[in-house]
Amino acid sequence: MGTAEVLEGLDLVERSPDRSYFLGARDDEIVSAVEQELGLQFPPSYRMFVRRLGAGSFGSSEFYGVIDRDIAESGIPDAAWVTLRMRSEGGLAPTFLVVGSDGMGAYYVLDAAKDIGASETDAIDKVKAALEAVRPQGAPGGMPPGAGGGPPNR
């Protein structure tokens, strides 16, 4: 898992404007400012995602990302806002980055202290599974909605 799979997901989002809503590309200056505020560096595939799409949703799946520098005045789907809130209220480790929610009270988290490895791979798996679950029936490589392509239980 890695960059190729993330690029596939990003391309799917861009080919499906009727199923997606994203804020749009974020420049390096904003992304770097958010990383500095959080005291961590985004994993390469997540940085690619926020640089290209920012934050938003695809089908019923929401993907937290970078909105702007004003984190304090933000909210969901701002990954920095959720991460800082979870650090102060829930004891989230300082190397963790909240990148999404399952809508049932659980969060998808990347461990920014690790290089591309299990943490990033797990998150990529969840994003890929969520994209598969909402891919239009008959789309290349997709499964019909409801056919077991939803996010894995973890």
pTM: 0.70
Q: What is the pLDDT of residues 46-92, one digit of tens each?
A: 999 999 999 998 888 888 999 988 888 888 899 999 999 999 998 89
For residues 64 and 19, the answer to whether their CB atoms sit within 8 Å is no
Q: What is the pLDDT of residues 16-47, one digit of tens each?
A: 889 889 999 999 999 999 999 999 999 888 99
d(CA 21, CA 135): 14
Q: What Å distances lie between residue 10 and 53, 71, 92, 104, CA to CA?
A: 8, 24, 28, 25
3-class DSSP state of 66: coil
Domains assigned to the chain? 3-134 (3.40.1580.10)
Note the pLDDT of residue 54: 92
Note the pLDDT of residue 5: 81
For residues 78 and 62, the answer to whether their CB atoms sit within 8 Å is no
For residues 101 and 108, the answer to whether their CB atoms sit within 8 Å is yes
CA-angle at 38, arms to 34 and 41, nearest 5°? 75
Buried b (16+ CB within 10 A) or exposed e, 89-104: eeebeebbbbbbbbee
